């Protein structure tokens, strides 16, 4: 009997050892392949998986009093990880571009160290160091790409914006280490507004050429593409709101309303509802519309007409959730030489994120229904990003080059 158990144990250990060896071999191969490949192959799947779990663990810690991750048991801890963990990881994956292997590993290590240290020892100086070092390393990698290549002043927006995000995050971490709660709340709004400007800019640069290409295939021409004058209005009004929100909230609120109006005009001119067979671009338009709504609600927050949670979650869940979900899925699909127009995950995820955003906003003033609505929001969000993480993981490797190209059933979009 003992001999049989020993053989079984050896067999299990051997099987486990084979799986571990395969995993290690795959990891080593992935490390070899990172040189010259896009950063999103690492950051997008990880950010999607992490972003799916944070709301669930946060609600669990708040309602059950569990001490597994005490840093997530407060609203500020939840916001910290969704802003600086989830959102900044996607920014890193999108703006960094191809990186040398060790640069990518260092950036990813700093992000992972920031997450682990904040979850386990949030009040330690190690947590402050990692959470400040990651955006600093990201800025060092990404800012020169935009500062050196951009010619027009509108295209140079990303560099200063990334520097501003870095300064805000580092200041937030220093304020957190010194119990500066009011300063943290101010910087939290600043970071959300900066992310709003980033979404307005990058969203337009993604949607406009993609919509123009599809209209061209339909035999029409989209005249209103980037819309430079509207984009300039967006940049200047959002910059005004970011700079004046802590000092002159009334002027900042007016600037946000101007930005929201300009974004709505821009979205209407794209005429996305006339696109044929492009649900992926319609979903990007939904995210842009969420951003318009979020900016209006943030203006009411600055005027003290509405609870901060309403505006913050309209931007973070509705706009950021929808746009980052679509951008991650589209980027990885196109990288794998697949057409995002055929993806059923994109419209399904967009609907689920809308459900999550509406549930979270209504929960702010729902009384006894707040608990179920919060769980509905967290569950819808988690389901969406877990599905996305699984899809991104299957697309993490670049497609192998074929010797003889075969004609596709449908031409890929040149976007």
Residue range 286-298, pLDDT digits in tens: 999 999 999 999 9
Longest dimension (CA), the chain: 82
Every domain of the chain and the residues it spans:
34-179, 195-395
Q: What is the mean pLDDT of residues 256-282?
A: 95
Q: Which of the residue ranges 165-179, 327-341, 390-404 would you say has the lowest mean pLDDT?
A: 390-404
Supply the pLDDT for residue 123. Answer: 87
d(CA 124, CA 311): 31
Segment 259-264 mean pLDDT: 97
378/67: higher pLDDT: 378
Q: How confident is the model at residue 67 (pLDDT cuts 50, 70, 90)?
A: low
Model confidence band, residue 74 (pLDDT cutoffs 50, 70, 90): confident
Question: How does residue 224 score in pLDDT terms, banded at 50, 70 and 90?
Answer: confident
* pLDDT tops 50 at residue 14: no
Cβ-based neighbours of 184, under 8 Å, separated by 6 or more: 76, 172, 175, 176
Ramachandran assignment for 74, one of left (phi > 0), alpha (psi -120 to 50 degrees), beta (any other): beta
Contact 260/296 with Cβ under 8 angstroms?
yes
> In what helix (H) or strand (E) does residue 391 lie, and over which residues does it extend?
helix 370-394
Is the pLDDT score of 149 beyond 80?
Answer: no
Of 41, 40, 12, 17, nearest in space to 29 by CA = 41
Confidence of residue 415 (pLDDT cuts 50, 70, 90): very low
Please, which pLDDT band fits residue 11 given cuts at 50, 70 and 90? very low
Gap between the Cα atoms of 333 and 388, Å rounded: 11
Q: What is the mean pLDDT of residues 352-380?
A: 93
What's the rounded mean pLDDT across residues 159-166? 93
Residue 39: what pLDDT? 84
pLDDT for 402: 53
Q: How confident is the model at residue 404 (pLDDT cuts 50, 70, 90)?
A: very low
Q: What is the mean pLDDT of residues 193-199?
A: 96
Q: 148 vs 309, which has greater pLDDT?
A: 309
Contact 265, 274 (CB under 8 A): no
Residue 37 — very low, low, confident or very high, per pLDDT cuts 50/70/90?
A: low
User: Which range has highest mean pLDDT (118-122, 241-245, 368-372)?
Assistant: 241-245
Could you give the angle at the alpha carbon of 180 between the alpha carbons of 178 and 183, nearest 5°?
Answer: 140
Tell me the pLDDT tens digit for each residue of 211-221: 999 999 998 88
Higher pLDDT, 74 or 402: 74
Count of beta carbons in the 10 Å neighbourhood of residue 75: 13
Least confident of 118-122, 133-137, 218-222, 395-399: 395-399
- Reported confidence tier of residue 199, pLDDT bands at 50, 70, 90: very high
Angle between helices 322-335 and 279-302 (to 10 degrees): 150
Q: Which of 244, 290, 245 is nearest to 263 (CA)?
A: 290
pLDDT at residue 194, as a whole number: 97
Average pLDDT, whole number, for the chain? Answer: 86
């Amino acid at each position: 009997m003992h001999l049989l158990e020993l053989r079984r144990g050896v067999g299990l250990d051997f099987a486990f050892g084979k799986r571990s060896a395969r995993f290690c071999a795959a990891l080593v191969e992935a490390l070899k392949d990172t040189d010259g490949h896009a950063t999103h192959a690492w950051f997008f799947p990880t950010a999607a998986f992490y972003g799916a779990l944070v709301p669930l663990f946060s609600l669990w810690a708040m309602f059950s009093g569990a001490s597994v991750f005490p840093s997530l048991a407060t609203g500020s801890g939840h916001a910290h990880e969704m802003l600086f963990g989830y959102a900044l990881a996607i920014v890193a994956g999108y703006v960094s571009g191809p990186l040398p292997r060790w640069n990518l590993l260092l950036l990813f290590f700093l992000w992972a160290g920031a997450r682990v240290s904040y979850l386990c020892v949030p009040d330690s100086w190690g947590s402050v160091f990692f959470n400040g070092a990651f955006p600093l390393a990201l800025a060092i990698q990404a800012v020169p790409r935009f500062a050196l290549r951009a010619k027009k002043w509108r295209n140079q927006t990303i560099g200063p914006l990334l520097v501003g995000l870095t300064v805000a995050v580092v200041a937030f971490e220093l304020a957190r280490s010194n119990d500066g709660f009011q300063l943290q709340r101010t910087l939290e709004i600043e970071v959300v507004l900066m992310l709003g400007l980033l979404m307005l800019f990058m969203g337009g640069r993604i949607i406009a050429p993609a919509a123009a290409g599809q209209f061209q295939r339909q035999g029409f021409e989209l005249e209103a593409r980037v819309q430079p004058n509207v984009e300039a209005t967006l940049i200047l009004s959002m910059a005004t709101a970011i700079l004046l929100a802590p000092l002159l909230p009334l002027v900042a609120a007016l600037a946000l309303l101007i930005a929201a109006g300009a974004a709505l005009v821009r979205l209407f001119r794209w005429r996305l509802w006339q696109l044929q067979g492009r649900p992926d671009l319609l979903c990007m338009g939904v995210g842009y519309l969420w951003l318009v709504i979020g900016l209006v609600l943030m203006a009411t927050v600055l005027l003290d007409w509405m609870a901060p949670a309403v505006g913050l979650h309209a931007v973070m869940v509705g706009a950021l959730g929808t746009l980052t979900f679509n951008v991650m899925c589209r980027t990885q699909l196109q990288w794998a030489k697949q057409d995002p127009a055929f993806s059923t995950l994109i419209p399904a995820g967009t609907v689920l994120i809308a459900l999550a955003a509406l549930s979270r906003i209504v929960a702010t003033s729902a009384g006894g229904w707040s608990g179920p609505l919060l769980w509905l929001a967290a569950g819808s969000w988690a389901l969406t990003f877990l599905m996305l993480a699984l899809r991104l993981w299957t697309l993490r490797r670049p497609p192998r080059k074929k010797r003889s190209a075969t004609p596709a059933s449908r031409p890929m979009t040149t976007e």
